[in-house]
Structure 1
Amino acid sequence: MSLNLSKEEYKKAEEYRAWIETRLPIGKELLYLTQEDVRSIPISPEEILELTEKSLAAYSRKNADMPAKIGIHPLPGTFYHAMPAYAPEAFAAGIKWGSCYPENQKKYGYPQAEGLILFNDHLSGIPIAILDCIYVTEIRTAAVTYASIKKLASSDAKTFGMIGCGVEGRQHVKNIEKVLPSLKEIYVYDISKDAENCLIQELQGEVGAVIKKADSLETLVRNSEVIASATIITEQPEPKIKDEWITSGKTILLCDCHSLYEDKTVKRADKYLVDSIEQHELLKGYGYYPYGLPEIYAETGEVVGGEKQGRVTKDELIVCNNVGMAIEDMYVVRDLFDKALENGIGRKLPL
């Protein structure tokens, strides 16, 4: 899909390119940012959320060029995803190449998720940066959940449940009170009790709500008004949460497709949303939704951008399925790239 810039936008794009040239000779060098470099770049949770909201709205308004991510699956339960996107509003173009190998930690001592982002000058196509994608994925994934919560959950919710206490789970809990300021209790659950303990030890002093270990998924689900899950995306759903535990008024945020929930739960939701219809239709073709998708009320960006209503009544059951989009990465990467140049972070490599 071609997205032409107006004369005014093109002028601003040229000005941005000229600004980069004062710090990085395009076509001769590119900026290389390790994961440690990326994590050291100063960016606030509020900035990340604002960038993520802009990306969601831009995608659903068709002001972005982002094909559904394609993948390969070398071993059972593993995948690589190729995620390209162009955001004309941010003058940002690039691609993320990420993998997920759930057995990595046990077998090799590596994290289960790894990957890189290639960031380009969108006026010439020249690569201008290569950076680790893990931190970018961490912060924008949680920010999509926050953006969804702002529109889909009751603002006075007192309880939040986090299923999965790994990197993403910790990132979700860390700043959840910025969108749910009335929280009193945060329930966490993970099959690894060490992961639960690590989350609580790391974050209890940073959040005002009391973080509690749920003794079961049932305990977490029954006691939480808003529930987020960031677990392994299984090739087919492996329901562990019974439909009878889900009562009206709950907001369910998925980062892991339908892996944990029964088909009847997602299909009886009063509102069912996805971040990208095209992406989820492709995933359905891969077999991730063997029972089909529920009727889709809206894309997340339509609600975030104000084109469609979010929560209207207290008793609505709302399910929002955000699997992650490259457009979110590009908005965040553009900001991180600029800040890295401004602060002298990273290493310049010959191109």
Structure 2
Amino acid sequence: MELDLKDRDWLSQKINIGEEVLYLTRKECESVGLSIDEIIKLTEDALVAHGKKEYEMPAKIGIHPLPEVFFHAMPAYVPSKHAAGMKWIECFPKNHERFNLPQTSGLLIMNDEYSGWPLAIMDATWITAMRTPAVTALAAAALHPDAETFGMFGCGVQGTAHVEFMPHLLKNLKRIYIYDVREDAMDKLIEEVQPKIDVEIIKGRNPEEVVKNCEVLCSATLILKTPLKVVKDEWVTKGQTILPCDLNTYWDPLITKRADKYIVDSIEEHELFDKMGYFPDGLPEIYCETGEIIAGLKKGRENQNELIVNSNIGMAVEDVVLGREILNRALNLGLGRKLPL
């Protein structure tokens, strides 16, 4: 195999591969200057590569020190982006009440694809917070491009980013409904995002009101093995598009079971979660993967009466593609600290 070393030659001019590694904090990752539109495009590139099977990405493996938590190792390689690396991410839902810490933390390691040596260690929480709403926005635009209403359950970091990202691709949006069990979280989201978008943000009085007023719906709450069934099956009607980021947690499983199309970002990962017990009522029949829709390989919505559920739990291809662009920009800008190996 003949190696294309142009990319590695560029890297070796910026960092001494095999001798040092670049460390980037969250603030430094944020400061490389990626716009929302650029993040969406990079995420789209990752999804297209996944849809076309131009990647390597084993399903997540993890450890579970407590019943409600997980650590996940997420490696991936996307050749077209020279992006090879692994995210090590943790989710501890009770962190806020126990330690006044966010529930999610993580690091991303980027590697040289030809020698294997680490190039960078960087914060992964911001990357996760950015690529997740980018996936949802891309899926919404592909499955329900003319939607005028969007509903968001969960107003934390993910929910806030979703509300900001969605108008970038859903150009006909007129109203965004939000709901969280914490009133202050809804108020904070509106204070932060409303000045940035032209779409009206409305606080939902309850989940039922949000469901019944929105064509496209998303949830970013907790990931639990036992479904909370907050959204009832009888509230959901034909023609809606549901985009959960929290597996099977927030929605009555009957909704997914009767959906005309059940789409997932990764079949392998959803099957793994099923084996781990996150689908106690069984994993629904899967129509296709999100990347296949984005790449134009599979049809999305075929008529206005279809009920579509698209579960996106996050894939490492998205993380490493975004991480590689952050690394490139950080090296050009002289950000971060070079640590000896």
Paired residue for 1:38? 29
In the TM superposition, 1:65-104 aligns within 5 A as 65-104=56-95
The unaligned stretches of length 5 or more in structure 1 are 1-5
Instruction: Tell me the CA shift for residue 123 of structure 1.
Output: 0.3
CA distance in 2, matches of 1:219, 1:34: 40
CA distance in 2, matches of 1:156, 1:285: 37
Instruction: Tell me the CA shift for residue 60 of structure 1.
Output: 2.7
SS in 2 for 1:22: helix
Instruction: Tell me the CA shift for residue 291 of structure 1.
Output: 1.1
Per-residue CA shift, 1:244-281, capped at 9, x if unaligned?
10011111001000111112110111111000100000
Instruction: Tell me the CA shift for residue 59 of structure 1.
Output: 1.7
- Taking structure 1 as the reference length, the TM-score comes to 0.95
- Taking structure 2 as the reference length, the TM-score comes to 0.98
Paired residue for 2:228? 238
Please say if residues 227 and 250 of structure 2, whose CA atoms lie closer than 8 Å, have aligned partners that are also in contact.
yes
CA distance in 2, matches of 1:149, 1:52: 14
In the TM superposition, 1:256-295 aligns within 5 A as 256-295=246-285
Paired residue for 1:24? 15
Per-residue CA shift, 1:136-167, capped at 9, x if unaligned?
001100111011112111x2211110000000
RMSD (CA atoms): 1.0
In the TM superposition, 1:199-210 aligns within 5 A as 199-210=189-200
Asked whether 1:251 is paired with 2:241, we answer: yes
Per-residue CA shift, 1:16-65, capped at 9, x if unaligned?
11101111111111110011111111111122111111211212322111
CA distance in 2, matches of 1:285, 1:264: 19
Paired residue for 2:219? 229
Per-residue CA shift, 1:52-94, capped at 9, x if unaligned?
1121121232211100001111112111001011111111111
Asked whether 1:54 is paired with 2:36, we answer: no
In the TM superposition, 1:111-130 aligns within 5 A as 111-130=102-121
Aligned residues: 341
Asked whether 1:172 is paired with 2:146, we answer: no
In the TM superposition, 1:142-181 aligns within 5 A as 142-153=133-144, 155-181=145-171
Please say if residues 24 and 337 of structure 2, whose CA atoms lie closer than 8 Å, have aligned partners that are also in contact.
yes
- AA at the equivalent of 2:151: G
Q: Find the partner of 1:220 among 210, 213, 238.
A: 210
Instruction: Tell me the CA shift for residue 212 of structure 1.
Output: 0.7
Asked whether 1:339 is paired with 2:329, we answer: yes
SS in 1 for 2:71: strand
Please say if residues 51 and 294 of structure 2, whose CA atoms lie closer than 8 Å, have aligned partners that are also in contact.
no
SS in 1 for 2:33: coil
CA distance in 2, matches of 1:261, 1:228: 10
Structure 1: which 4+ aligned runs deviate by more than 3 Å? none
- AA at the equivalent of 2:50: Y
Instruction: Tell me the CA shift for residue 339 of structure 1.
Output: 0.5
* Structure 1, 43-52 or 137-146: larger mean CA deviation: 43-52
Paired residue for 2:123? 132
Please say if residues 51 and 297 of structure 2, whose CA atoms lie closer than 8 Å, have aligned partners that are also in contact.
no
CA distance in 1, matches of 2:165, 2:222: 22
